[in-house]
Amino acid sequence: MNSSFDRLYLFLLLIPLITIHEFAHAMVATLMGDRTPREEGRLTFNPLVHMDLFGTLIIPAINIFLLPGGFGFFAWGRPVPINPSLLKNPRLQGILIALAGPLANIITAFFILLIAKVVIPQDHKLSELFATFVLASIFLAVFHLLPVMPFDGWTIVKNIFRIPDQWEHQMGIFWFIAILIFLNLPPVYHFLEFSAYHLFMVLNLLSGSPLHR
């Protein structure tokens, strides 16, 4: 991200991508019999109900506008409330609900690539804008699959290994600070970058899109 427009574009992109992500959690939970997301008003594409002040606005804004690299893919929305007692198989369905958000972002990325294939000529000036959209969506999916609390990857691990909820509550704010430090470690960043770019290449190949990054 070199220009102010690029940074603003990336920042604004995160809002619809997070909305899609959280809506997917709410939709899958609802389809599996949990009425809580609907009752809490989360079964909607209205971004205002999914945005988290810290995770959607403050942290991305700091990363994008203040840090030298302009790295802003560390973002998240308000967690969709789930009532496991309303699920027939809480462990398995909990995993599927957690996977729904990242999968929605990957499907969105693939859909944008298909659109690009139809509407964007090779090396057109719009290619970079579309490519940024796709990469942001993929990176958000990869980021949320990290097996660290409170992201979707952690929910998957928690259900697989039956980790009690009390363990999360005991960690509190210290765990959250540790996560922010962990996510900014160069090996973690490079792993996320490597995974996202290679998934971008795979989806690009499958879609036959003219985009490149």
Please give the structure tokens belonging to residue 126: 């719009």
Structure confidence at residue 172 (pLDDT): 65
Mean pLDDT, the chain, integer: 89
The confidence score (pLDDT) of residue 123 equals 65
pTM: 0.92
- Give the chain's end-to-end CA distance (angstroms, integer): 13
Token look-up 């973690």 returns 188
CB distance 47 to 19 below 8 Å: yes
Residues involved in catalysis: 22
Give the CA distances from residue 68 to residues 8, 62, 96, in Å, rounded to whole numbers and listed in that order: 15, 10, 37
Per-residue pLDDT of the chain (213 residues; tens, 9 = 90+): 458 888 899 899 999 999 999 999 999 999 999 999 999 999 999 999 999 998 999 989 988 888 765 555 689 999 999 999 999 999 999 999 999 999 999 999 999 999 998 888 766 778 888 999 999 999 999 999 998 888 999 999 999 998 887 777 776 667 777 777 777 778 888 888 899 999 999 999 999 888 876
The b/e string for 52-89 (b: 16+ C-beta within 10 A; e otherwise) is beebbeebbeebbeeeeebbbbbbbbbbbebeeeebee
SS3 77: strand
pLDDT at 105 (0 to 100): 98
Residue 161 neighbours by CB distance under 10 Å: 7
Q: What does the pLDDT read at residue 67?
A: 76
